Amino acid sequence: MTQLHLNAFLMSAGHHEAAWRLPETDAVGATGLDHFVQLARLAEEATFDSLFLADSPVLHSTARRPSSVLEPTVLLTALAGVTSRIGLIATASTSYNEPYNLARRFASLDHVSGGRAGWNIVTTAGPDAARNFNLDEQASHRDRYRRADEFVEVCRRLWDSWDDDAVLADKERGVWADPDRVRPIEHRGEFFAVHGPLNVSRSPQGRPLLVQAGSSEDGKDFAARHADAVFTAQQTVQDARAFYDDLKRRTARQGRDPERVKVLPGIVPVLGSTEQEARQRAALFDEHVQPEFARAQLARTLRVPLERLQLDEQLPDDLPSEDEIEGAKSRFTLIVSLARSERLTVRELILRLGGGRGHHTFTGTPEQVADTIEEWATTGAADGFNIMPPALPGDLRTFVEHVVPILRDRGLFRREYTGRTLHEHYGLPRPVPAAAAEVVAG
């Protein structure tokens, strides 16, 4: 029987861009700890594998939705102290960090949480972010992924620079750690020169769970080389199956076991006790969307002048090609494909994207949402799901109280945790240090 992996993707007041305007949400709660403590405990009580915090080193629109974002590894360190089992995944960019600092940060989180840390690896698109880091323009899409490859390689070597048994803490002999089991890495590559070793001993998991979310050709190849889990966005079960099969094939070509890479599409569940009630809730969200703000964001995403997007017309025919996009290539293609295939006007497209920025939004009863999840999970489209509640905390609570019990009754989801670490939740073995792996292979 398929056993789902469920991740709670937490975003400020919720994933719908209008969520913060609803009476029941706290428009400024995302800058306080209490908001996230409540959500983390709710997800842990429901035995979710993990929770996830996205991040970007740039301020987006201050008018459209809450845009004050706490640094996620700091926030997850605080949440580690009020939870005991749920995994803690944070986004961090390979474009605007250094490997040593980031490897240390995630090793620290893994120690503090008892082995529950995960890193969502991103390359960060957009010139605005570049200009926050002493650069005039972002690097090319290909160069960002080349840097990311080397970045992850350096981090792995830093995490492996301590053997599991390096710390002796031998008080009688006065030896805290065996110096022969702690090694510099002496890395010198195209982008980085790092001597090492890390100044944090090997953590409970050995390294964090590695997550990737880009679906461009470069992104899928990167995931096949490095990822333990992939967060993705598809609108239909057919597209999800095609992505799933493609990623698993790429993983096998890298010499890795495809079963050890978990694919989790995003789903935005708009729930009601009846179909009519669910549609009414969806309409409530739509009523609070601000079309002009959303139109401006869409124009930036599609790299077209604002005046070319008229609310009651379809997208222009002569949009840039994906090859011309240096930012989020896969998201660009998803949005354009959705608009073209369903012949949506700009206004209709804005409403479709408002709930999850291109992730699958499902409006219906708990049973209908569970049916959709089961279909995707049992027909080769997903190993689990990124649950993206449109409004928080209410819609997460509704999912936990009304959908999770159905999935459990169908034998699709755990009733209690069986492991302690995030790797264990995802059914993955503890990573073996590179030096130990070479000894075993020899």
Cβ proximity of 83 and 44 under 8 Å: yes
Residue 361, token pair as written in the block: 């939004």
Asked whether residue 234 is assigned to any structural domain, the reply reads yes
Residue 179, token pair as written in the block: 């110096």
Assign residue 169 a region: left if phi > 0, alpha if psi is -120 to 50, beta otherwise?
left
Asked whether residue 416 is assigned to any structural domain, the reply reads yes
Domain hosting residue 254, numbered range: 5-271+361-441
Number of folded domains that form the chain: 1
Could you count the other beta carbons within 10 Å of the beta carbon of residue 410?
A: 16
Q: Convert 225-247 to b/e letters by CB count within 10 Å (16 or more is b).
A: bbbbbbbbbbbebebbbebbeeb
**pLDDT tens digit at each of 442 positions of the chain:** 579 999 999 999 999 888 989 999 998 988 999 999 999 999 999 999 999 999 989 887 666 677 788 999 999 999 999 999 999 999 999 999 999 999 999 999 999 999 999 999 999 888 889 999 999 888 888 899 999 999 999 999 999 999 999 999 999 999 999 999 999 999 999 999 999 999 999 999 999 999 998 778 899 999 999 999 999 988 889 999 999 999 999 999 999 999 999 999 999 999 999 999 999 998 888 888 777 777 777 777 778 888 777 777 787 777 777 665 655 666 677 777 777 877 878 777 777 776 556 678 889 999 999 999 999 999 999 999 999 999 999 999 999 999 999 999 999 999 999 999 999 999 999 998 876 544 334 4
Angle at 53 between CA 51 and CA 55, to 5 degrees: 165
Cβ proximity of 352 and 338 under 8 Å: yes
CA dihedral 282, 288, 291, 296 (to 10 degrees): -100
Residue 414, token pair as written in the block: 């755990």
Cβ proximity of 277 and 283 under 8 Å: no
The owner of tokens 């928080």 is 392
Asked whether residue 291 is assigned to any structural domain, the reply reads no
Asked whether residue 345 is assigned to any structural domain, the reply reads no
How deeply is 146 buried, as exposed, middle or buried, from its count of CB atoms within 10 A (0-12, 13-18, 19+)?
A: middle
The confidence score (pLDDT) of residue 442 equals: 41
- C-alpha distances (whole Å) from 207 to each of 271, 396, 421, 422, 436 are 37, 29, 11, 10, 14
Asked whether residue 384 is assigned to any structural domain, the reply reads yes
Asked whether residue 10 is assigned to any structural domain, the reply reads yes
At 165, which amino acid appears? D
CA distance 127 to 123: 12
Asked whether residue 334 is assigned to any structural domain, the reply reads no
The confidence score (pLDDT) of residue 285 equals: 86
HEC assignment per residue over 91-126:
EEECCCCCHHHHHHHHHHHHHHHCCCEEEEEECCCC
Beta strands in 179-261 (DSSP E): 187-188, 193-194, 209-212, 229-232
First and final CA of the chain: distance in angstroms?
Answer: 37
How deeply is 305 buried, as exposed, middle or buried, from its count of CB atoms within 10 A (0-12, 13-18, 19+)?
A: exposed
This prediction has a pTM of: 0.89
Asked whether residue 283 is assigned to any structural domain, the reply reads no
CA distance 318 to 326: 17
Enumerate residues 6+ apart whose C-beta is below 8 A from 232: 213, 215, 240, 243, 263, 264, 265, 266
Cβ proximity of 248 and 261 under 8 Å: yes
Looking at residue 183, which CATH number applies to its domain?
3.20.20.30
